[in-house]
Chains A and B, each alone.
Chain A
């Protein structure tokens, strides 16, 4: 009978003894793998020292669990869910510096910032990630070529280690922990709060342009022409071969400079002509989707004024779109290949994918710029990055992933841990040779299923 009382301060947190009772399955966004763990919610910064002492079988701070593979999982261990740490601490409207607890989501930050005329300096394809998670995965966005990674805009943060010590980390203070924690996969300690530099905007709207391209060379031409445009990203049809091979839609936009409403409009959020791909996702099969998406854009060029929500977060409209892949889940495969081999590598991998018949709804192609990340283990580097979604078919998917990972390695590239559930230890250690240096900054209590998998010899 569900008549439990409302939450009160006393209910916010169970006593340390009770936390270790019971297991709860915890799914990552890819729904694969799916491990049981003790799920311990953190609601106050002061909860952590009490919790971390005396925890066995490892601890991992997690946020919204929007990473795809196992970086946000810890089989049989303790997951500290940080989403209760979602308070703002300070905001300076002169400088745009926002200080907040690390469990706040980017959606919550936008709700606060946009009406005040500010925006995230870097935004991923979903706003349902936490500030701490964005730092731990050093996420990138459509403006990587001009803004670099998220970590570059994080001026300072506090890290608590499991021994209870607190470290203020910035470029000048504990700079080694600052570098290790940005892109550090949540393994260097719990980030309690962070300070982020927001950027001013005068409108919710994006001056958008969508352009069809046919093949990688046209994509690269468009990329060169759009160097001064803040946001660029491409959807690419990875199911087609022959004359349609590597066709796609190049999408670019800037924050509109025409001063306008900053409050959310209650009416349809989509202001102009072309629907977010998210709508189609639920209804069409892969190749139908891909063909439809390509031709959705009837003209070679479409110019529109679009609200920032569908521009940045087309899939957030379809809550739990990951479920369309069924219970087995999905895997993303995201590589970056440096310029030297970027073109040939991308063509080779797209051919391999098309040949496999395991097509992806969401193939996203983007160029990383040369703005360096402060993070020691950060994924982006200058070159081409491609992200592919695959539904999991055990006998076919994993051999393909292994082939693709090996090809990535041959072309001098690397894979994105936040999107991975398949790379081998040898592959990871080749992609990230600095991992042993990084391991020195890992909190001895903190680990993840990903880390156990890719560093079994550590």
Chain B
């Protein structure tokens, strides 16, 4: 489903300054897409927008917003689709890792992680899903995580928020796929961003540009779930199937 210069795709990106989102947008920009970018930090957002314009995006508009402000979502999203004059892809890439150690002691920290990684996407996707169903078209591409496939002591707050998000997306897909709307759940493993080059130990991480290419391809092919890099699919299959009485003893 590639587009031509005369009919560029209209793409809304939420969390556009994240490493994976930025790399993905560079591919879309070189294809001449129309982009609407949302992020919290105005200066970073402006740098990303200038880059994408220079790379060939046919249209780039931005909005500075804290996506935790769910009350603002309807206004933000309707502004975005008006600006884009439609919507082919909504790409949700925002999220926080949070401080697991602190969240174990302090519910407010835990709640913050859950709010940003689960509640906010649910709010956005509720609006976006209904918008797309009305038009019987569109793709909702959402970055979840392999960490949501099974809770581990090292980051189960983050993992559980992503687990909730993945389950939400399963259900949403079940509901709206028949309405002509595609829901893609993206489950990345650890990703090396350009900033880690030269550092030892990051060689095993996935290359952010390759991750971005896989995401663009999965969206074009209307896939349902993408493990990226693909090796994570069998790895997580095994991890999900380790019996709990062994799993709870592991240091993961």
Where the two chains meet, the residues of A that have a C-beta atom closer than 8 Å to any C-beta of B are 1-12, 24-26, 39, 41-46, 62, 64-65, 79, 81, 83-84, 86-91, 101, 103, 112
Contact = CB atoms under 8 A, between A and B. Distances in A.
Contacts of B208: 7
A86 B54 CA distance: 13
B197 A88 contact: no
A79 B200 CA distance: 14
A88 B17 contact: no
A8 B198 CA distance: 20
B47 A87 contact: yes
Contacts of B193: 7, 12, 43, 84
Given A8-B97, A9-B94, A2 B190 contact: yes
A332 B55 CA distance: 37
State which size class the interface on B falls in: 35 or more
Given A25-B200, A44-B43, A46-B44, A6 B50 contact: no
Contacts of B199: 24, 39, 41, 81
B146 interface: yes
Contacts of B51: 87-89
B222 interface: no
B197 to A, nearest CB: 5
Contacts of A62: 198
Given A9-B40, A41-B195, A83-B198, 6 more contacts: A9-B44, A11-B19, A24-B200, A62-B198, A84-B193, A84-B194
Contact of A8 (B18, B50, B251): B18
A4 B147 contact: yes
B189 to A, nearest CB: 7
Nearest to A90: B54
Given A1-B252, A90-B50, A43 B158 contact: no
B204 A2 contact: yes
Contacts of A101: 47
A12 B19 CA distance: 8
Contacts, number: 130
B233 interface: no
A187 B19 CA distance: 29
Contacts of B39: 9
Nearest to B22: A87
Given A64-B198, A87-B50, A4 B190 contact: yes
28 contacts: A1-B154, A1-B251, A1-B252, A2-B190, A4-B147, A4-B190, A5-B95, A5-B155, A5-B158, A6-B95, A6-B188, A7-B193, A8-B97, A9-B15, A9-B17, A9-B18, A10-B97, A11-B97, A12-B17, A12-B19, A44-B44, A81-B198, A81-B199, A84-B194, A87-B48, A89-B50, A89-B51, A101-B47
A3 B19 contact: no
B96 interface: yes
A101 B47 CA distance: 9
Contact of B252 (A3, A79, A112): A3
B18 A7 contact: yes
Contacts of A46: 43-44
Contacts of A7: 18-20, 191, 193, 208
Given A3-B147, A7-B19, A86 B50 contact: no
A41 B196 contact: yes
Contacts of A9: 15, 17-18, 39-41, 44, 94
B84 interface: no
Nearest to A41: B195
B47 A1 contact: no
Contacts of B48: 87
